[in-house]
Amino acid sequence: MKLRKKSTALLAAAFASMMLMSGCGQAKIGYIDGERVSKEAPQISALVEEGNQKLNEAREQSQAEIQQKMKENPNMSQEDAQKLQMDAQRKLQGINQSYALQLRQKIDVALGSVSKEKKLDAVVNNSQEQPIAITGAVDVTDEVISKLQ
């Protein structure tokens, strides 16, 4: 679940980075519903599920390793115990960042392709809670989802 929240945040960042406004004339803007893409695009759903599974496995393994090391050394200092916890946390963050990067790359490729096909100058994330594009923008959510099949 944590990965889904981060992927949504990264999705928003990807859309912001894709904004290329033309200097003259009227800009053609598209929008997508990032939450729908996260839920409905098979590649994204599969990657999120895989990432969550790997995070859970790594978390369980780290906890088991920490418990084992504490059993082996019952007089472990507080500092050493904290170091073990921090190392485990770093490992989890690395896994999370790896999957978040993969998500962003997949979405960027699909979004870039759709933007090029539709000749869009910018694509924004238009969430239901905070709509950005109200009128005059083209919804390309379905096209992005189809690219991520």
Per-residue confidence of the chain (149 residues) as pLDDT tens digits?
Answer: 566 666 666 555 555 555 444 445 678 888 898 888 988 999 999 999 999 999 999 999 999 998 998 888 888 888 988 999 999 999 999 999 999 999 999 999 999 999 999 999 888 888 777 777 667 788 898 999 999 98
- pLDDT at position 48 is 93
Residues in contact with 31: Cβ distance below 8 Å, sequence separation at least 6, in sequence order:
123, 124, 125, 126, 132, 133, 137, 138, 139, 140, 141
**Run of H or E including 101:** helix 78-118
End-to-end CA distance of the chain: 21
Whole-structure pTM value: 0.70
Distance CA 6, CA 117 (A): 28
- pLDDT at position 132 is 76
Distance CA 116, CA 59 (A): 41
Assess contact for 124 and 23: CB atoms under 8 A: no
- pLDDT at position 120 is 92
Which strand ranges, in their side-by-side order, compose the sheet holding 138-139? 122-125, 29-32, 138-139
**CATH class of the domain at 2-147:** alpha beta
Distance CA 77, CA 58 (A): 24
- pLDDT at position 107 is 92
Question: Structural domain boundaries of the chain?
Answer: 2-147
Distance CA 88, CA 138 (A): 44
Assess contact for 125 and 132: CB atoms under 8 A: yes
